[in-house]
């Protein structure tokens, strides 16, 4: 099987949206410091670009989780592969994700993080596929709501490929 990528959201539209989110977040956290937590690997491109548009102090940390499932769908079995470097107790934690699909990964993660007593815990995602939600997740900041299609680019992968595309594209799987 091979695949073709069709542009869904242009590089310029992604950039404009991230600048908008950064401005909103800067306003909401006025006078505070944000502990930005990126979920590897997909959230990396989004987090670094978003951080550049935030005007309050930020520190960055990374977490890696694996959710066993098929190549295009997560399962509920989440495992922490790389944990945070420091405790988040008393900090304003902002989780930065590439996409929320079923919500299973985030539901597990937010529950896990909440138990560490952060001062606040918010969630920012570049993309949201609300049609596929099986677990309710409170999302504070959303870049784009997209239809239930498998997408790549701007950090998102298909079998580890296409993360470096500067735009968001829909993957069309063609039969051979």
Neighbours of 36 (CB within 10 A): 22
Per DSSP, 27 falls in state: H
On the question of a cis peptide bond just before residue 41, with omega within 30 degrees of 0, the verdict is yes
CA–CA gap between residue 96 and residue 162 (Å, rounded): 20
User: How many C-beta atoms lie closer than 10 Å to residue 60's C-beta?
Assistant: 14
In this structure, the dihedral spanned by the alpha carbons of residues 79, 81, 138 and 102, taken in order and rounded to 10 degrees, is -50
**Catalytic residue (choose from 13, 30, 85, 101):** 101
Nearer to Mg ion, 43 or 118 (CB): 43
Cite the DSSP H helix spans in the chain.
11-28, 44-51, 104-114
CB of 68 to ligand IMP, least distance (A): 11
When asked if residue 42 is in the footprint of Mg ion (CB under 5 A), the reply is yes
Instruction: Return residues touching ligand IMP (CB under 6 A).
Output: 42, 67, 74, 97-106, 150-152, 156
How many residues make up the chain in this entry?
176
Pick between residue 54 and residue 102 the one whose CB is nearest to ligand IMP: 102
49 touches which of Mg ion, ligand IMP, none (CB within 5 to 8 A by kind)? none
Query: Choosing among ligand IMP, Mg ion, none, which partner's interface includes residue 93 (Cβ < 5 to 8 Å by kind)?
Result: none
Q: With respect to ligand IMP, which residue has the nearer C-beta, 43 or 118?
A: 43
Q: Is 101 a catalytic residue?
A: yes
Structure tokens at 52: 């550049």
Query: Cβ 47 to ligand IMP, closest distance in Å?
Result: 13
Say which DSSP state 79 is in: E
Residue 103 binds: one of Mg ion, ligand IMP, none (C-beta under 5 to 8 A by kind): ligand IMP
Q: How far is the CB of 89 from ligand IMP (least distance, A)?
A: 25
Q: Binds 104, which of ligand IMP, Mg ion, none (CB < 5 to 8 A, cut-off by type)?
A: ligand IMP
**Closer CB to ligand IMP, 48 or 67, in the complex:** 67
Q: Distances from the Cα of 15 to the Cαs of 22, 69, 126, in angstroms?
A: 11, 31, 11
Q: Which residues are catalytic?
A: 101
Interaction site with Mg ion (CB under 5 A): 42
């Amino acid at each position: 099987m091979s695949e073709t990528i069709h542009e869904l959201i242009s590089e310029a539209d992604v950039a404009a949206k991230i600048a908008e989110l950064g401005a909103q977040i800067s306003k909401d956290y006025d006078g505070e410091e944000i502990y930005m937590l990126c979920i590897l690997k997909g959230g990396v491109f989004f987090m670094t670009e978003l951080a550049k548009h935030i005007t309050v102090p930020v520190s960055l940390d990374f977490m890696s989780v694996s959710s066993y499932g098929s190549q295009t769908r997560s399962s509920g079995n989440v495992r922490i592969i790389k944990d945070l470097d420091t405790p988040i107790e008393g900090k304003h934690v902002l989780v930065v994700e590439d996409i929320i699909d079923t919500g299973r990964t985030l539901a597990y993660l937010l529950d896990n993080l909440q138990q560490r007593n952060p001062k606040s815990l918010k969630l920012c995602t570049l993309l949201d596929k609300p049609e596929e939600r099986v677990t309710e997740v409170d999302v504070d900041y959303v870049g784009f709501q997209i239809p239930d299609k498998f997408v790549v680019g701007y950090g998102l992968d298909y079998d580890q490929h296409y993360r470096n595309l500067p735009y968001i594209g829909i993957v069309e799987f063609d039969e051979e």
